[in-house]
Amino acid sequence: MRRAWALTGVLALTASAGAHHSTAHYREELREFEGEIAEVIWRNPHIGIVLRTTNASGGDEELWQMESNSTYNLQRAGITRDLLNVGDRVRVAGQPSTLEERAMLVTNLMLPSGTEIVLRRDMPPLWTGEAIGGREEWLAGRGVVDAAAENLGLFRVWSASEVRITKEDYPFTDTAIAGRSGWNTLDNFMTNCEGPGMPYLMTSPHPHQFARVGDDIELRVQFFDRVRTIHMAPAAEPATAPPSDLGYSVGRWEDNTLVVETSRIDFPYFDRIGTRQSENAQLIERFTLSDDQSRLGYHMTIVDPTVFTRPATMETTWIALGDDVSSYDCLVF
């Protein structure tokens, strides 16, 4: 269920107001204006800011609904809740929505102190030479821990090393591309805080943690508080397992690489733009630990002839930053 922001004479922001949605419907061009912060909602999947401003043509008061990034991504870049205060008059830049009136993906914000905040990791500062946030702070905000001394191997919390996935090769079929036409950018599993299934879950920049649970391995993903079980027993047999959105995963070790094969996936979407996948999708993941234990290479191969003309691949690298896997606590407003 999706609920829109509501205005009934005065600003009414409660637990039932607001919305999160895909960024696909925001314009590429930036718009800038000034206003007063009327409300800040610090939550996942994206924080919300309501800006009170005046209409340039008639001088009437307007309220703009703005969204930004997840709390983890903002905090990793040095942006904390205390920087945004109700009543502050700020300058903002962002990408207006093509579907919703007075809605914007805010990218940059100038505080009354003259400090600029870069709220999107792939944006540079707009008005100052230096700013809080942005790609560089996100990448270098915390150094890599001495993983070799800790000697935990795979079994620690891993964090994304890059802002975006390092390499993707998705050779979509024409049928898969055409099937996106029915995708609703404002009402889908992401906007409704329904946790994503495989393989989209593994594209998240949020922390991942490997833990031993008996003979098996548990993979805890902060993104939407998802938990995968990787069955390591030789007798693990996916054919008899009931289908699920995370599928059934069987793992084995090849030297310092954990190889995981996943099938029995009944999650309908490959991504967050409406590409549908079939129940016959087969995934092979390879998690390769570096010699100094500070980096974890990740490579996924997806075989699904309905969706791809040949096996698709995705790869990236995770690093040991000493993060925790905290509660994602997604809320629909």
241-259: average pLDDT? 96
Looking at 21-30, 217-226, 274-283, which range is the least confident one?
21-30
DSSP 83: G
Residue type, 158: W
Structure tokens at 8: 């009934």
Options 2.40.128, 3.40.1130, 3.30.530, 3.40.600; CATH for 147-319 is: 2.40.128
Give Cα 168 distance to the centre of its chain.
16
168: β partners? 314
| Percent of the chain clearing pLDDT 70 (strictly above) | 90
DSSP string for 178-237: HGGGG--TTSSTTTTTPPP-TTGGGG--S-EEEEEETTEEEEEETGGGEEEEEE-STT--
DSSP 285: E
Topology match between the domains 7-140 and 147-319: no
For 31-74, the pLDDT digits (tens) are 998 999 999 999 998 899 999 998 777 678 999 999 998 999 99
pLDDT score at 169: 97
Predicted TM-score (pTM) of this structure: 0.83
User: Which class for 162: exposed (0-12), middle (13-18), buried (19 or more C-beta within 10 A)?
Assistant: middle
The answer as to CATH 3.40.50.620 being correct for domain 7-140 is no
pLDDT score at 141: 55
230: β partners? 217, 249
What distances in angstroms separate CA 318 from CA 38, 187, 294, one per listed residue? Answer: 38, 31, 9
Higher-confidence residue of 331 and 14: namely 331
Give Cα 139 distance to the centre of its chain.
16
CA dist 109 and 114 (Å) reads 10
pLDDT score at 14: 29
For the chain, the structural domain boundaries read 7-140, 147-319
Looking at 95-109, 215-229, 276-290, which range is the least confident one?
95-109
69-98: average pLDDT? 93
Asked whether residue 286 carries a pLDDT value surpassing 90, the answer given is yes
pLDDT score at 58: 66
158-167: average pLDDT? 82
Asked whether residue 239 carries a pLDDT value surpassing 60, the answer given is yes
